[in-house]
Structure 1
C-alpha cells in the first residue's frame, strides 16, 4: 500500500512539473515582443520588432523584420483564389487549411532564388523560403506573403510544423482582422489584362493541369 502511494505521489510530481513548463512557456509567449499594425484592409500584430516599409501602390503594405531578415507583404484584391491558381501552376506547394478568428486560410509554401540586378542568383546558399497565406471572402480576398530571406536565421520548412510557420506565421494569423474595402482592386488589372484575357489564362492553366491542353 505504501509503495502504491509513493507511485501516485511520483506521478503527481511529474504532472506538476510538466504543467509548470507549459505555464512558463505560455508566460514567455505572452511577454514576447510584438509589433501591432493597421492598414485600410487588414490589422493585427507581427512577432518581434517589425518596421513599416514605403510602398507606392494602393492596397499593398510591406513590413520588415531586420533582425531575422523576414519581409511581410500584405495585399487585397477581388479574387485571391484565382491568384493562387497561378502560383500553384508555378510550383508552390499546398494548400494546408487553417482557421483563426473565423477566417479560413489556405497556406502555401515555396522556395526561390533571390534576384540581383534583374538576374536570378545561382548561389544555392542564398535560397529564400516563402509562405503565402490566402483567405477569400465573398467579394474580397486577402493575401499575406512572408519571405524568409536568410534561412540561416530561421528554420524554414515546407509545412506548418517548422519554426517558420509556428513562430512567425501562426501568431500573426491569430491576430488578423480582415476589413471590407471599397473599390477593391481587380486581379486582372494587376496583370495588365482585361477580365476576359485573365479568364482565358486561368482556363488554359486548368486545361493544362487536367491534361486536356491541345496545341
Structure 2
C-alpha cells in the first residue's frame, strides 16, 4: 500500500512540474501582460505595458511613451533604411542581430547614449540611456523602431538576452504589421541635405570602412 502511495505522489509531482513549466513557457505569469495597440500610416502592432502616444507634426514619425518604465518608442519609415544603419554602425552602434517575426526580417542594433543637456531641469547628464534600434528593409521602403530605455528602470543589455529586449522588444516585433506607404520620405530629406551631398557622405563612410582612413582627413581639409 505504501509503495502504491509513493507512485501516486510521484505522478502528482511530475504533473505539477509539467504544469509549472507550461505556465512559465507560455508567459502566463508574465507581469507585462498588458498590451497597448497602436496604428500609424506605415506600421501597426502592440506595445507591452501602458503606452501613450506623443504628439508629433510628422506624417512618417510616431512617438510613444511608457511612463511607468520610462521607455520612449520612436517609429519611422523612409526609402532606404539600410544606409541609415550604415551611418549608425559607423558611429559605433553594435550589431546587427537578425530575427524574423510575423513574416518580417529585422536587424537589431544596440547602443548607449548620454541624454541631451537640459539647463532648465538640471538633468543628471551622468545617467546614460540604453537604445535598441530595430530595422526592416522591404523592396522600396524601410522601417525603423527606436526604443530608448532609462537604465534605472529596466535591465538593459547590449544583446537580445536582457529584459530590455526579451520583455519589451521581442513581443513588440512579433506583433508588428508593416504597411506599404505612398510618398515615402527619402533618407536624405530626413537629414535635411541634398541627395548628392548625402551620397558623398555615404561614399566617405564606404571608403573608411574599406580601410582608407585618409579619406576623413581629405574631407576635413575641404
Under a length normalisation based on structure 1, what TM-score does the superposition of the two structures give?
0.89
Post-superposition shift, 1:117?
3.0
Structure 1 unpaired stretches of 5+: none
Distance in 2 (CA, whole Å) between partners of 1:142 and 1:161 is: 23
Counterpart in the other structure of 2:96: 95
Counterpart in the other structure of 2:17: 18
Alpha-carbon deviations, 1:83-102, whole Å to 9, x = none?
A: 00000011100000000011
Post-superposition shift, 1:24?
2.4
Structure 2 unpaired stretches of 5+: none
Distance in 1 (CA, whole Å) between partners of 2:125 and 2:65 is: 23
Distance in 2 (CA, whole Å) between partners of 1:31 and 1:163 is: 11
Under a length normalisation based on structure 2, what TM-score does the superposition of the two structures give?
0.86
In terms of mean alpha carbon deviation, does 29-38 or 71-80 score higher?
29-38
Q: Is the Cα contact below 8 Å between 2:37 and 2:46 reproduced in 1?
A: yes
Find runs of 4+ consecutive structure 1 residues off by over 6 angstroms. Answer: none
Distance in 2 (CA, whole Å) between partners of 1:197 and 1:38 is: 34
Q: How does 1:191-206 map to 2 (within 5 A)?
A: 191-206=191-206
Counterpart in the other structure of 1:176: 176
Number of positions where the alignment pairs a residue of Structure 1 with one of Structure 2? 208
Q: How does 1:43-62 map to 2 (within 5 A)?
A: 43-62=44-63
Q: Secondary structure at the match of 1:64?
A: strand
Distance in 2 (CA, whole Å) between partners of 1:105 and 1:176 is: 11
Post-superposition shift, 1:142?
0.1
> Cα RMSD between the aligned structures?
2.4
Q: Secondary structure at the match of 2:175?
A: coil
Counterpart in the other structure of 1:130: 131
